[in-house]
């Protein structure tokens, strides 16, 4: 009898992470039936999603509160679809406020379904007491960072450090001459959620304009998801910028990043990918004031970026809230470009940090091995 896995993600980054694991899992067993809440990466593997991911990607406390009934409806719908599918495993990835709520409800109804969660909730940043609740319904956590183990070991919750797939080496070589057009590349990461794009894209466009007033040797490449590519392209067309491109293909994006001289990125996991490519960068982010104040009250760390959190000092500049504007971004980028030794030092510090948290094997493969064990049990 065929084994069944329901893949549960809550945003584009989770869909990307899930696809790396499922690709490896298929190498071990290609006779598994899948269903998901997923995006374009899982779709490329032939895995159907029960609805569009964009229907549940809300940012900030106020956005969640305003859409609470929609979210609850989606949670209930997902629970019902999972129960109908009757999987052996729910493989949930990140987005704990959605994925783990669904998993908890399912487990109460069908306790034999195993819950394997990839990307543990960041209890080391906030809401550490959540760990006790997870023990009741999560069978196994797959951890991105080794330092997370102590939080789950303390509560005797099964966990395995598998590492972060964004820290693995990228080997492909793709010709990007048609994109770079002989110019130096600056990579821009405006985020995958519509609310992020709406806020950050205009700021980045104004930054590009400021750069174009002073320099003519750069091309600016927006890194996008497949779902957002047409939207970003349309917005770029509206501004008639001749030295700005948008790419969504995973391999092309990786090659573009490896050949970039600098990156401006929305705060998030993409920062690890940028560090891994040895590209100097700055982090930007902006949410509404109420959400920011709530976040500031709840979190236990002084930084937004994981590299800075691990070092407890600013390695990568963070331009947040009022500092997240085109002029500040321009000033920071210009400083790095004028001071290559400063950029080199940042890259060195980031590399040293990654060496501390990098797993010795493939994250996707290690995660797939855990899933296989539960499918055999």
- Structure-model confidence comparison of residues 328 and 72, the more confident one: 328
Q: Which residues of 239-251 are buried (b: 16+ CB within 10 A; e: fewer)?
A: eeeebbbbbbebe
What digits encode the pLDDT tens for the residues 221-275? 999 998 899 999 999 999 989 899 999 998 999 999 999 999 999 988 889 999 9
What strands lie across the sheet with 140-143, from one edge to the other? 33-37, 4-9, 89-93, 114-118, 140-143, 159-161
- State phi, psi for 8 to the nearest 5 degrees: -120, 110
Least confident of 60-69, 74-83, 203-212, 224-233: 60-69
Counting residues of the chain whose pLDDT is more than 90, the rounded percentage is 63
Position 174 confidence tier, pLDDT thresholds 50, 70, 90: confident
Which token pair is 192? 């995958």
* pLDDT mean over 304-325: 92
- CATH numbers and ranges of domains, the chain: 4-163+359-376 (3.40.50.2000), 177-357 (3.40.50.2000)
Amino acid 327: pLDDT: 97
pLDDT, the chain, mean? 89
Position 61 confidence tier, pLDDT thresholds 50, 70, 90: very low
CA distance linking residue 18 with residue 42, whole number of Å = 7
Who contacts 26 (Cβ-Cβ below 8 Å, separation ≥6)?
A: 32, 45
Nearest-CA neighbor of 187 among 213, 224, 216, 227? 224
Amino acid 172: pLDDT: 67
Residue 51 has pLDDT above 70, yes or no: yes
Amino acid 63: pLDDT: 55
Residue 60 has pLDDT above 50, yes or no: no
* pLDDT mean over 198-220: 96
Amino acid 151: pLDDT: 85
How many residues belong to the chain? 377
* pLDDT mean over 372-376: 93
Q: At what angle do helices 194-214 and 326-338 cross, to 10 degrees?
A: 50
Position 303 confidence tier, pLDDT thresholds 50, 70, 90: confident
Q: Is the dihedral of CA 344, 348, 351, 357 positive or negative?
A: negative
pTM of the model: 0.79
CA distance linking residue 58 with residue 67, whole number of Å = 8
* pLDDT mean over 4-8: 98
* Per-residue CA distances from 337 to 22, 144, 263, 308, 341 (Å): 40, 32, 11, 21, 9
Position 57 confidence tier, pLDDT thresholds 50, 70, 90: low
Query: Which single residue is written with the structure tokens 């979190």?
Result: 299
* pLDDT mean over 89-109: 95
């Amino acid at each position: 009898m065929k084994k069944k896995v329901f893949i549960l993600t809550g945003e584009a980054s989770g869909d990307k992470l899930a696809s790396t694991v499922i690709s490896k899992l298929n190498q071990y067993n290609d006779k598994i039936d899948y269903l998901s809440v997923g995006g374009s990466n899982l779709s490329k593997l032939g895995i159907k999603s029960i609805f569009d991911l964009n229907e549940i990607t809300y940012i900030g406390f106020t956005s969640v509160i305003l859409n609470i009934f929609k979210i609850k409806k989606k949670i209930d719908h997902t629970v019902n679809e999972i129960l109908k599918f009757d999987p052996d495993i729910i493989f949930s990835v990140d987005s704990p406020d959605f994925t783990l709520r669904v998993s908890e409800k399912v487990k109460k109804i069908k306790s034999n379904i195993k819950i394997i969660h990839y990307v543990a909730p960041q209890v080391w940043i906030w809401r550490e007491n959540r760990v006790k609740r997870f023990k009741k319904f999560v069978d196994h956590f797959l951890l991105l960072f080794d330092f997370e183990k102590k939080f789950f070991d303390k509560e005797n919750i099964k966990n395995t450090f598998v590492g972060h797939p964004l820290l693995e080496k990228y080997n492909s070589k793709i010709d990007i001459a048609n994109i770079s057009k002989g110019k130096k590349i600056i990579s821009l990461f405006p985020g995958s959620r519509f609310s992020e794009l709406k806020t950050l894209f205009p700021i980045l466009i104004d930054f590009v304009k400021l750069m174009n007033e002073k320099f003519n040797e750069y091309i600016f490449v927006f890194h996008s998801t497949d779902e957002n590519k047409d939207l970003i392209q349309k917005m770029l067309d509206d501004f008639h910028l001749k030295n700005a491109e948008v790419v969504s293909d995973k391999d092309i994006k990786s090659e573009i990043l490896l050949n970039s001289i600098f990156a401006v990125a929305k705060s998030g996991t993409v920062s690890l990918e940028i560090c891994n490519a040895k590209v100097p960068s700055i982090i930007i982010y902006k949410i509404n004031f109420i959400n920011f104040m709530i976040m500031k009250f709840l979190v236990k760390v002084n930084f937004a970026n994981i590299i800075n959190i691990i070092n407890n000092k600013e390695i990568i500049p963070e331009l947040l809230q009022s500092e997240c504007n085109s002029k500040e971004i321009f000033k920071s980028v210009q400083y790095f470009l004028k001071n290559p030794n400063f950029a080199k030092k940042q890259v060195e510090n980031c590399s040293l940090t990654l060496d501390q948290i990098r797993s010795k094997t493939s994250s996707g493969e290690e995660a797939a091995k855990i899933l296989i064990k539960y499918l055999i049990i």
